[in-house]
Structures are given as C-alpha cells and as structure tokens.
Amino acid sequence: MLARSPLARLPDRALKYGLTALAALILALIVYFFIRLVGQARPALAKEGVFGFVFGNNWNVGAEHFGALPLLVGTLITSALALLIGVPVAVAAAIYATELCPLRLRAALTLLVELLAAVPSVVYGLWGIFFLAPKLQGAEQWVADRLSFIPFVGGGLVTIPNYFITGLILAIMILPIVSAIAREVMATVPDDHKEAALGLGATRWEMIRMAVLPYCRSGIVGGAMLGLGRAIGETIAVTILIGDAPKLGHHLFDQGYSLAAVIANEFGEAQGVHRSALFAAGLVLFVLTLLVNGVARMLVVRAARGGGRGAGGVEKAPAGGQLLADAAAGA
C-alpha cells in the first residue's frame, strides 16, 4: 500500500540517473580533453622526439626547431623564486594572524591578505611592468653588480622584464593561497600542545617552533606546493613580465620565456608544426602541474588528518580534501 506506483517513481529515477550521468560526463570530458591534447601535440613530439622536445635548447620558429628547454627553465626559475620569496612571508603572516596578533586585528589581517587573491593576473602584470619593474631596476642592477662573482646571478645588464621580477610578482600572487592554507593548518594544532609548551616555560617563539610548526609542517609544505602549481600555470602576468625572449637567460636578471607565456604569446599566429609544438608545451605544463598538485594534495590531506610529526593523531581534524577545497575556493 505504501509503495509508490512506477509512474510516481519516475522523477526520482530520472534525477538519480541524470545526476550520475552528469558526474560521469565530467570524468569523460577530462579524459577526452587530455587525449585530444596529446593528439594535437603529437606532430611536434614526433618531429623532435619527446626527450628532444622537453630538453632541446633551441626554440626557433623560423627554422621550425622546437626545443622547450628555455621555456621549461624559465617556468622553473620563476616558480622557484616565487616560492623562495613568497612562502616565508606567507607563513610569517599566517603565524602572526593565528598566534601573535591581537584578536581584534585577526579578521582584518586575514581579509587584507586574501584581497590579494581578488586582483586579476593581468592587473599584476600591468602593475609589475609599469610600476614595480622600473622602480626596482636600479636596485637589481646594484645587486647584480655586487654579486657578479656568482654565476647565473649577477654580472650582466639588468633588463626591465626579467626572471627575477617575474618571480617577485608570482610570489605576491601565491601569497594568499599559501597563507590561507598555512593558517587553516595552524588552526588545527590542539590547544593542549601549545599550552603544554607554554606551561613548561617556553617563550612564545619556542612554543611556535616546538609545538606549532612541527605539527603543521607537511600542511605548510603542501600549501607551498599548491602555490607552486599556481606559479607554474600562471600565464598573463608572466607573459608581460618575463620578456618573451625564446632563449635561456644568461643570469637571473635577464629576459627569458615560460611554457605558459609562449602559448599566450605565439598561439595566435602559429601554424602547422609550430602550433603543434605549442600544444606540446601545454601538455608539458599540464603534466607538470598535475604532478605538483598531486604531491601537494597528498601532503595537505595528511596534515589535515593530524598526521603531522609529533601529533600522534590524537584529534581528528576535518577531512583534508574539504580543507583544501575551501582554501582553493576562497583564494
């Protein structure tokens, strides 16, 4: 008597299978995109060989030579710089917001750092090339002259667009996400641990160093890796700031190119093998970000489960994926 007629059950079935199909469609779409991307990249990869494409140091459109090493190196140098500059600052801001700052300031401080995420990439490029780069050129030249004894760092002539300034802008761009994740992971440190440290006579800094940082180390590393993923994939700001010179820069303050920038800059006019080479660059970029994000996700998930060193897994923190998704959606 209580059972519904088949007709009445129809909308229920339709909704269930419709939504399942939708979810399956997303999976199929991503796989399809990937296969098509590989297909488009194939002519260039066949011409140069996969190894020759990735590690060949010769990107010459006129002569139809496509070795992506200068692009790969540009991407890696600028992203590494972004991490080197951005992560300490982001973690400092997170420590200050969670452990040291007056409670009244906390919300405002968090909001201000997160506002950086609301600035579009192209605006960072505009600001970087017309304000930051010219302002810093003198200082960069000074540093380059002083450090001329270190190979690849100093010695040469500083140009306005260069690797360093690109890395600096990328550092600013990854600040909000790295800081947001560091803050969320630090919020999972049990108060017991902190109070125990303070109770044993630790100073504030000793408490942070011994109770907070070890507990969230893998979470912070994961956040930094997620920032790295962002920096690697960042396109427009890099295109504006790196100089778009298809060669290996001689030093840190020289012009170069990156994987994302080459696509944005050359795709419009590209034909034939050149276009295929740009698809191949996109493929390398895609795989690179996939690897970096995979490792990042693993680390953050582990951290959020309370698996940090010295944590002992006493308290069950919110599921890591959720935490990460929140941070990613917010930043």
The answer to whether 122 contacts other proteins (rule: CB under 8 A) is: yes
Comparing CB distances to other proteins, the nearer of 310 and 321 is 321
The answer to whether 40 contacts other proteins (rule: CB under 8 A) is: yes
The answer to whether 139 contacts other proteins (rule: CB under 8 A) is: no
Pick from 292, 146, 168, 135: nearest CA to 242 = 168
Gyration radius (Cα) of the chain, Å: 24
Burial class (CB in 10 A: 0-12, 13-18, 19+), 15: exposed
Residue numbers 9-38 binding other proteins by CB under 8 A? 9, 11-12, 14-16, 18-20, 22-23, 26-27, 30, 32-33, 36-37
Q: Which stretch binds other proteins (CB under 8 A): 146-154, 186-194, 196-204, 306-314?
A: 196-204
Residue numbers 264-303 binding other proteins by CB under 8 A? 264, 267-268, 279, 282, 285-286, 289-290, 292-293, 297
Instruction: List the structure tokens of 238.
Output: 């890099």
The answer to whether 255 contacts other proteins (rule: CB under 8 A) is: no
- β-strand partners of 66: 59
The one-letter amino acid code at 5 reads: S
Q: How far is the CB of 250 from other proteins (least distance, A)?
A: 24
Q: How many residues of this chain interact with other proteins, rule: CB under 8 A?
A: 91
Out of 69, 96, 153, 298, point to the residue binding other proteins (CB under 8 A).
96
Q: How far is the CB of 327 from other proteins (least distance, A)?
A: 10
Comparing CB distances to other proteins, the nearer of 206 and 315 is 206
The one-letter amino acid code at 269 reads: E
Q: How far is the CB of 169 from other proteins (least distance, A)?
A: 9
Q: How far is the CB of 278 from other proteins (least distance, A)?
A: 8
SS3 59: strand
SS3 200: coil
CA atoms within 13 A of residue 57's CA, in its CB half-sphere: 6
| Beta-carbon contacts of residue 3 (< 8 Å; ≥ 6 apart) | none
Instruction: List the structure tokens of 300.
Output: 């953050």
The answer to whether 208 contacts other proteins (rule: CB under 8 A) is: yes
Residue numbers 210-239 binding other proteins by CB under 8 A? 226, 229, 232-236
Number of H helices, E strands in the chain: 15, 2
Q: Which stretch binds other proteins (CB under 8 A): 51-59, 120-128, 186-194, 213-221?
A: 120-128
Comparing CB distances to other proteins, the nearer of 142 and 205 is 205
- SS3 helix, strand, coil % of the chain, rounded to 5? 75, 0, 25
The answer to whether 72 contacts other proteins (rule: CB under 8 A) is: no
Residue numbers 143-182 binding other proteins by CB under 8 A? 172, 175, 179
| Beta-carbon contacts of residue 110 (< 8 Å; ≥ 6 apart) | 97, 183
